[in-house]
Structure 1
Amino acid sequence: MNKLERASALDRVGDRLQPKVWSVLRPQRVKDALHGVWLGHPLHPALVQVPMGAWISSAVLDLMPGRRRVPGQERAATTLVAVGTASALPAALTGVNDWSWLWQEERRVGLVHAATNSLAVALYAGSLAARLRGRHGLGRTLGLFGLAAVSAGGYIGGHLVYKQTAQVNQGAPDMHRVEYGWRRVAEVDSLPEGQLLSRRVDNVPVVVWRDGADITVMLARCAHQSGPLDQGKVIQIDGQPCVVCPWHGSTFQLKDGEVMHGPSSTDQQVLSTRITNGVLEAALP
């Protein structure tokens, strides 16, 4: 897996494919929907449960002894293979959308992940065709090969998430670096109106935003890929000020960190605030 991360030869494919994915998956609301912005959680790992569950269930039926003597078992296995194959398509679409916003090393591993799963879909499509023609022995064999392929793809996907932290909220670990209790942030009178200000809380970079009497202290590292939100630009969405990450464009409401546009699918963490004797203080929520 570490060699895959360093396999620069894969960039010839990834660098050409990335802009094509961006051009096809338009407009922004389509990308947001596929990222899972509306769900507040990456959509791809939720959708892959359907094909995986259906295919594993079909394998259980295929491997049960005496299957020829159980009425409807072949038909049930065929139905499960069909459900798994059909549901793999939306799962793949969300995965491709997420992949197009990853770092180069992650995109390399993601390409192999996608290729392995594509092989699995092809094997299951062949399995379904064979079963529908009554060639259940061939269908079972192709299905088991497909299960092996999709299991390998799942392992590679696990490497993407748990080792490379693809689509994981990159800002969340900073919350664990903030000690419990109230921390001094700044003098309230020193905070400009409507301007992003960079500060630190327990050596964790934060963004301070003042809108009249309302003050927000938000983690500065973007949830998507740790982009510096304190260097982002402020825009208005539905009358609410939002900060746009300068790296990949993830957009969050400044009042509460709610994600408005991807590629981030999760909210940006904000700290609790209070004013004591003219001093802004922040603490874990």
Structure 2
Amino acid sequence: MRQNRVLWLLDRLERDPRADAVIDAIGRGVRALPLGRGRDALHGRWLGHPVHPLMVQVPIGSWLSAALLDLRPGRSREAEVLIGVGLTAAAPAALAGWADWAELRRQQQRVGLVHALSNVTAVALYATSLTCRMRGRHAAGRAYGLLGLTAVGVGGMLGGHLAYRQASGANHAEEVPHVVTEGWHRVGTVGEFPAGRPVRRSVDDVPVLVIRETGGTVHALADRCSHLAGPLSEGTIADGCVQCPWHGSVFRLSDGWNVRGPATAPQPAFDTRITDGHVEIRLRQDDQGACGQQPEDRAATGRRGEGRDPWIP
């Protein structure tokens, strides 16, 4: 059976390094934007998953509706309004998309760049379509609108490849509760965990970050970052949190809560205990664990000191 031609082209795009210099320059520019806490809002940390796919529904829906109205004579004014709504909504949706794109792997960024170029082309075509319509050139406006919808379709296909083939925006720690078996698992003696130093262990082939505080408290989280599976055991420990070395996501050690993005999902957390000089861990299964407890509920058990999230200015 012959390989699907579209997938073959996409695989070549993932491996093509010719645009890497442009990707690096744009990525630096996006990361340098003074967005502050707005960056986490654009990532969708407040929603629990990326917000960009939700935001693009407005321009796509508006433009598709405009195309349907173009099939009916005498509805040009309504189509103009819908195209204008789509153009207005495209800007914040694009900003959220660029914020996510800047924190992706290189292969994902290569596909994402073409995805963005397709959408930029669509915006330009729809802007031209609206201009033509306002000047009374309705036939040209409809033609440019059809071309714009085609560009949107190409961009949507590339976006789907990013999300479903390349797992961009997916929770890369989601499988942990389904793989780790119930009960306590012995991961080493207390002496194998120097105070304040992250140590990587494995439970049922799942990498786990284990860290013992100076006071003796032991914390354990799934080691692969929920953002893009970065090794948290190689990250920085400070203020009761661990920072992923790949893209800077910050998770609270006590319960895995993601206090700073780009990660939008918390890390699976483990209960810990010391038995006969050995550290044992158990996947936290109760309703108040990292996947179910609300941030305000976690405050009573997960925070120390000033009662505020560390790492957040």
Give TM class, smaller chain: 0.7 to 0.9
User: 1:22 and 1:268 mapped to 2: Cα distance?
Assistant: 24
The question of whether the paired residues in 1 share the 8 Å contact of 2:126 and 2:144 is answered with yes
2:122–2:151 CA contact under 8 A, matched in 1 = yes
Gap runs ≥5 in structure 2: 1-9, 286-313
Give the residue type in structure 2 aligned to 1:18: G
Deviations 1:30-77 (A, max 9, x none): 32222122332212112111111111111122224xx33xxxx32222
Shift in CA distance, 150/280, structure 1 to aligned 2, threshold 3 Å = same
What does 1:126-141 align with in structure 2 at a 5 Å threshold? 126-141=128-143
Task: Tell me how far apart the structure 2 counterparts of residues 138 and 181 of structure 1 sit (CA, whole Å).
Answer: 67
Residue of structure 1 in register with 2:209 after alignment: 207
Q: Which amino acid aligns with 2:119?
A: N
Conserved? CA contact 1:50–1:87, under 8 Å: yes
Distance 1:281 1:254 in 2: 14
User: For residue 38 of structure 1, what is the amino acid of its counterpart?
Assistant: W
Aligned to 1:21: 30
Identity of aligned residues (%): 47
Shift of 1:214: 5.8
Q: Which position in structure 1 is the counterpart of 2:220?
A: 217
Is contact 1:188-1:280 (8 Å) kept?
A: no
Question: Are the equivalent residues in 2 in contact too, given 1:199–1:208 (CA < 8 A)?
Answer: yes
Q: Which range moved further: 147-156 or 44-53?
A: 44-53
Taking a change above 3 Å as real, the CA distance of residues 190 and 12 of structure 1, as seen in their structure-2 partners, is closer
Q: How many aligned residue pairs are there?
A: 274
Deviation at 1:8, TM superposition (A): 1.3
Q: Is contact 1:181–1:284 with CA below 8 Å preserved after alignment?
A: no
- Letter in structure 1 aligned against 2:249: S
Q: Deviations over 1:228-282 (max 9, x none)?
A: 111211122xxxx111011221111111211122222222222355677776330
Unmatched runs of 5 consecutive residues or more in structure 1 = none
1:147 deviates by 0.8
- TM-score, reference length from structure 1: 0.86
* Alpha-carbon distance between aligned partners in 2 of 1:17 and 1:159, rounded to the nearest angstrom: 21
Paired position in structure 2 for 1:79: 81
Quote the Cα distance in structure 2 between the aligned partners of 1:254 and 1:284.
Answer: 13
SS at match of 1:200: strand
State the AA in 2 paired with 1:224: H
Q: After superposition, where does 1:1-285 map in structure 2 within 5 Å?
A: 1-23=10-32, 25-64=33-72, 67-68=73-74, 73-186=75-188, 194-210=196-212, 215-236=218-239, 241-272=240-271, 280-283=280-283, 285=285
Q: Distance in 2 between matches of 1:273 and 1:131?
A: 66
**3-state secondary structure, aligned to 1:226:** coil
Higher RCO by CA contacts (8 Å cutoff, separation 6 or greater) = 1
1:243 is paired with a residue of what secondary structure? strand
Amino acid in the other structure paired with 1:42: P
- CA contact 2:236–2:242 (8 Å) conserved in 1: yes
The 1-side partners of 2:258 and 2:195 are apart by: 22
